[in-house]
Amino acid sequence: MKTINMRGVTFGEGRMKIICPVTAPTVEAALETIELAKRLHVDAVEYRADRSVNAHDTDKLMCDLRRVRDCLGNRPLMFTFRSVPEGGHAELLQNDYIALVRAAISSGCADMIDIEHRIADAAAKELIDHARASGVISIYSYHNFNETPDAGRLCDFIAHARRLGADIPKCAVMARDRGDLLTLLAATERMTRGEDDTPVLTVAMGTDGVLSRLAGEFFGSCMTFCTVNASSAPGQIDCERAYAAVSALHECIKA
């Protein structure tokens, strides 16, 4: 599998990287969370702009993003505006969403950018291309809080994301039972077994999907979302507990 390096963190190699979502409504509270995360085993931070009180004001959001970037230091930063249909807390018209994501890419603050699959392919491709030209990692994401599609559909999504040029396809689905967990893991392994395959980020949400957040390295997932003081999705685990488990599993693989 190919690897991606950002600020000294290599995605797609070694243990799964720990990424902490910051979901605070104010930038002051976000900075407090980041200061805590910096003292823990956190490899990267996700700034969830849809949770911000400035979610509908791009200029203020970009000012907040700059403060987040300055506070975070040399750790990778992901910018995400998660829409309501994808499990988020705010909604924008498609053109406004595209403009916001473009602004975040152009800001020079974000190392990674989340691009939701729900927008038209042409718009997604334009944002992915703009991210690549700006040195920003593009994460093309799909979320399903109701079910886990069959492995064929998950593989088709990952293949489609790669055709669009996305650096990291992301699939987050709801595991209703352990069979759903196995479906996600099987699709992940199938799409990352080749040397030329790009890294993927997959997660089975909910109690039955917790193993995907810890053992993803075995199957090809490059990151896991973990909580510091507030979760952003069902089944997220405390950062330090996750780091201990992921690191122990990685040592077992090496052995």
**Are the C-beta atoms of residues 9 and 245 closer than 8 Å to each other?**
no
Percent of the chain past pLDDT 70, that is, above it, reads 98
**Are the C-beta atoms of residues 127 and 113 closer than 8 Å to each other?**
yes
**Tens-digit pLDDT profile for residues 229-249:** 766 667 688 999 999 999 999
Nearest partner of 47 among 5, 77, 67, judged by Cα? 77
Catalytic amino acids? 143, 170
**Tens-digit pLDDT profile for residues 37-47:** 999 999 999 99
Query: Strand 44-48 vs strand 201-205: parallel, antiparallel, or unpaired?
Result: unpaired
Residues 6+ apart with CB under 8 A from 96: none
What are the φ and ψ backbone dihedral angles of 130, each rounded to 5 degrees? -65, -40
Quote the pLDDT of residue 255: 67
d(CA 190, CA 188): 5
Quote the pLDDT of residue 195: 87
Predicted model pTM: 0.95
d(CA 95, CA 104): 14
**Are the C-beta atoms of residues 46 and 255 closer than 8 Å to each other?**
no
**Tens-digit pLDDT profile for residues 178-235:** 999 999 999 999 999 998 899 999 999 999 999 999 998 899 999 999 998 766 667 6
**Are the C-beta atoms of residues 214 and 23 closer than 8 Å to each other?**
no
